[in-house]
Structure 1
């Protein structure tokens, strides 16, 4: 349950994009929301559908969502398959959540480099004139050590029981116990990689796959589908 905020005339929105600076921006927004005792929202925008995310993008989104849970952020907003300009998507969220302050990074990735030139800021201000925009300087040299870049694009897959373990399959069947996304290791002819899925409690989980089989154990749960939030 989210804590009841004492001040509702201020609402903060943090906009993150792929790169090592997303967590820093979220923590900056959280600190400001704590000082002001007001609601905090975090959003990211991507032109691709969630199911087309590669391992890198998926891991970033998973980590941001987990961090938002840890910090008791009011809402994590993923706008995937977004064909409109970034400013339009941000403005829509700002309108619907009554946002008064927006935090964006200075140069997280090339897609957001227009931020430093003022074009995105100007576009946002044309859409919503009542917001204050905070541009946080970030360090391009920061590196992320939490991601393994040696995976192919994720594909829909399933796990079914196979004696004392689980076997990965790419065919829908009634005896499948888990549904998720499989990231195959680059350079292997076998199904070796990582299988990611969402538990019935809404937590992202992952297991390693070696030669079609799960390495380790999985606590039994009903059929779980990977859903967009």
Structure 2
């Protein structure tokens, strides 16, 4: 729920990218907004359209939306399918929402890594010289438990066989849904986690030997929306 802010001559924009540091940046921005009693905005930029995000990216976006709601942000800004340079997009948002302070990470993942170098900051300062920047030092690499237990996600499809849903790595006319499969490390079987997006929400289920173990909610989603051929 949006908070009623008493001060409108200041506003905070938090720029986040995919990784474990985004939540920390949002928390920092929220503290600043609370101290100043001013509006808070959260921005993420991606060159891909939202429906092409993998399960990991989608999970971060969902979490940031939740945090935006928890912290009473005015708006969560997802700039997907964006072909312009990131400084241009940030500057546009800053002008649109009268941003006076921006929170960014010093060493977030690849796309934002240039923030630590003069070139990125110089571009931002040229685009929006009227803004104060808060550069937060963040970890370069934090291995999540899931990253240690599972291989990199691969695209797969859901096929219904009798009363069971199974994953297939080949698209066919029998495919009913598309998602990402994260295979357990150290097994020859298709054991792991299946994740997919439906109505802008992320779902996941365990997979044992290629069979999805929680088919009830998947069955409901499949009825609502078949995969686009």
Does residue 130 of structure 1 match 2:159? no
Change (3 A) 1:77 1:156: farther
Please give the TM-score of this superposition, normalised by the length of structure 1: 0.75
Structure 2, unpaired ranges of 5+: none
**Alignment of structure 1 residues 143-154 onto 2, 5 Å:** 143-148=142-147, 150-154=150-154
Change (3 A) 1:151 1:72: farther
Structure 1, unpaired ranges of 5+: none
Does residue 96 of structure 1 match 2:96? yes
Deviation at 1:40, TM superposition (A): 1.4
Deviation string for 1:191-214 (max 9, x for gaps)? 5443334455x5422112333432
Deviation at 1:133, TM superposition (A): 1.3
Distance 1:166 1:70 in 2: 35
Distance 1:146 1:97 in 2: 37
Change (3 A) 1:117 1:158: same
Q: Secondary structure at the match of 2:207?
A: strand
Deviation at 1:160, TM superposition (A): 5.1
RMSD: 3.3
Deviation at 1:56, TM superposition (A): 4.0
Deviation string for 1:24-73 (max 9, x for gaps)? 11110111112222221212223334444444434433333333333333
Instruction: Indicate the larger mover: 101-110 or 56-65.
Output: 56-65
Quick check: 2:55–2:197 contact (8 Å CA) kept in 1? no
Q: Secondary structure at the match of 1:114?
A: helix
Deviation at 1:154, TM superposition (A): 4.3
* Equivalence for 1:4: 4
Q: Secondary structure at the match of 2:42?
A: strand
**Alignment of structure 1 residues 24-173 onto 2, 5 Å:** 24-140=24-140, 143-148=142-147, 150-155=150-155, 157-158=157-158, 162-163=162-163, 165-168=164-167, 170-171=171-172
Quick check: 2:62–2:201 contact (8 Å CA) kept in 1? no
Deviation at 1:98, TM superposition (A): 2.2
Quick check: 1:55–1:154 contact (8 Å CA) kept in 2? no
Distance 1:32 1:172 in 2: 52
Change (3 A) 1:151 1:120: same
Match of residue 218, structure 1, among 216, 222, 226: 216
Please give the TM-score of this superposition, normalised by the length of structure 2: 0.75
Q: Secondary structure at the match of 1:139?
A: coil
Deviation at 1:188, TM superposition (A): 6.9
- The number of aligned residues is 220
Change (3 A) 1:158 1:63: same
Q: Secondary structure at the match of 2:13?
A: strand
Change (3 A) 1:194 1:112: same
